[in-house]
Amino acid sequence: MGVLGCGRIGRMHAELIARHVHSTELVTVYDLIADTAAAVAKELGVRHASVPEEVITAPDIDAVAICSPTHTHVDLLLKTAAAQKGAFVEKPLALNLAEVDKGIAAAEAAGIPVQIGFNRRFDPSHRYVRDQVANNEIGDVHLVRISSRDPTPPPLMPLDESGGIFCDMTIHDFDMIRFITNSEVTEVYATGAVRIDKAIAKVGDLDTAVIVCTHENGVISTIDNSRQAVYGYDQRVEAFGSAGMAASENPLSATAVTRTAQGSQAPTLPYFFVERYIPSYVAGWEAFANMMAGAPSPVTLADGRAPLVIGLAAWRSIHEQRPVRTEEIG
Digit-by-digit pLDDT tens for the chain (330 residues) are: 999 999 989 999 999 998 877 777 789 999 999 999 999 999 999 999 999 999 999 999 999 999 999 999 999 999 999 999 999 999 999 999 999 999 999 999 999 999 999 999 999 999 999 999 999 999 999 999 999 999 999 999 888 889 999 999 999 999 999 999 999 999 999 999 999 999 999 999 999 999 999 999 999 999 999 999 999 999 999 999 999 999 999 998 888 999 999 999 999 998 888 888 999 999 999 999 999 999 999 999 999 999 999 999 999 999 999 999 999 999
What's the confidence (pLDDT) of residue 129? 98
What's the confidence (pLDDT) of residue 271? 87
Q: Supply angle C-alpha 181, 288, 136, rounded to 5.
A: 25
Non-local CB neighbours of 50 within 8 Å, separated by 6+ positions: 30, 34
Q: Does the bond joining 296 to the residue before it have cis omega, within 30 degrees of 0?
A: no
What is the layout of strands, in order, in the sheet containing 28-30? 47-48, 28-30, 2-4, 63-66, 86-89, 114-116
DSSP 309: H
What's the confidence (pLDDT) of residue 183? 98
pTM of the entire structure?
0.95
Strands (E), the chain: 2-4, 28-30, 47-48, 63-66, 86-89, 114-116, 141-149, 185-193, 208-215, 220-226, 234-241, 244-248, 258-260, 263-265, 324-325
CA 292 to chain centre: 20
